[in-house]
Amino acid sequence: PILPDLLDQIPSDEEIGSVTADGAYDTRKCHEAIAARCAAAIIPPRKNAKPWKPTSPGAIARNEALRASKYLGRAIWRRWSGYHRRSRVESKMNCIKLLGQSLMARDFDRQVAGLQVRIAVLNGYTALGAPMTVAVR
């Protein structure tokens, strides 16, 4: 029930390309809210999902995702649809949380700056662990 409210917080003149969520958001209200913003819903259908009556754009898009998931298989559908990126984002958010669970600043701009510092630290660690490839002649 929270997704439509979250989408309403984004200004209506700002374009949303896609909304990615887990299977708990495979509901009519969520699909309708995403379709109302002309965005693509990347939500895996539940394992026992049945097609909905195609009475609205959200239901039609969800039925297409269900059809593709059954045709391709769940694992291939996740790769094909881009759903696998969601787990990467969750992993990065977990890393950020490991650097500190709470934000110390009270001001929003300072909270943003605190998160940017954490991200810079993570990017520094990632750069240290990245292999350097050199061409050998």
pLDDT at 79: 87
Q: For residue 33, give the nearest of 62, 61, 5, 67 by alpha carbon.
A: 5
Residue ranges covered by each domain of the chain: 2-84, 87-129
pTM of the full structure: 0.66
Mean pLDDT per 10-residue interval, the chain, length 137 residues: 88 90 88 91 88 89 90 88 82 79 81 87 82 84
For 1-137, strand residue ranges (E) read 18-20, 40-42
Residue type at position 63: N
Q: Which residues pair with 3 in a beta bridge?
A: none
Query: What pLDDT was estimated at residue 71?
Result: 92
Q: Residue 110 is inside which H or E element, if any?
A: helix 108-129
pLDDT at position 102 is 74
What is the DSSP secondary structure assignment for residue 57, as one 8-state letter?
A: H
Give me the pLDDT at residue 33, please.
Answer: 92
pLDDT score of 23: 84
